[in-house]
Amino acid sequence: VRTIVQAIALATTGALLGLGVNALRPAGVSLLRPWVGDNDATAECALASADPVRIDAVAAMRLLATHAAVFGDVRGASEYAAGHVVDAVHLPCSAEAPEWLVSVAKTSTVVLYGGDDADPDPVAQSLAANGYRDVRVLSGGFRAWRDGGGSAASGPCEVGN
């Protein structure tokens, strides 16, 4: 009986210690909020309550020039192929992009843009709900980027549809 009590005490101590360390780590695993994305390509992204931070094209260009952010394009595949921010990942709302998500630390700055201001909001809110701490939306979308003189590339998307 004593051995069983010691085993239970050891397991409980280990579990509590693990939970404590996870809570203190900046990139700890979320235990209460599972990923709210959906693998179904027709599904809409889940919405969180907070509005994303908006930045202008000049601020976004600074982030790109200093490699201080990753960029995600939430427009359709044909719009992305016609032109997008250099090195931007195609990340439409309904896409499952596990490779992209795994490669981006939750502490990274993520800048999303679309065809207009509202397009990236569901994706931004979904990322924020899943622990991404610095998600920003480019005000005015790709048009503001292009009109502001931002560098662009063209070609088919590799992520999403």
- 146 falls within a domain: yes
Q: Please check whether residue 92 lies inside any domain of the structure.
A: yes
DSSP-derived secondary structure for 83-138? -EETTPEE--TT---HHHHHHS-TTSEEEEE-SSSSTTHHHHHHHHHTT-SEEEEE
Are 65 and 16 found together in one domain?
no
Residues 65, 19 within the same domain: no
On whether both 100 and 144 belong to a single domain, the answer is yes
User: Same domain for 60 and 107?
Assistant: yes
pLDDT reported for residue 39: 41
Return the pLDDT at 51.
78
Q: Quick check: is 161 in a domain?
A: no
- Give pLDDT, residue 153: 87
In CATH, what number is assigned to the domain containing residue 78? Answer: 3.40.250.10
Would you write out the chain's pLDDT as a tens digit for each of its 161 residues? 889 988 898 888 888 887 777 667 665 666 554 444 444 333 344 444 467 899 999 999 999 999 999 999 988 888 988 999 998 888 866 555 556 666 788 888 999 999 877 788 888 888 888 888 899 999 999 999 999 998 888 877 654 43
pTM over 0.85: no
Task: Give residue 90's domain range.
Answer: 53-153
Q: How many domains does the chain have?
A: 2
> What is the reported pLDDT for 1?
85
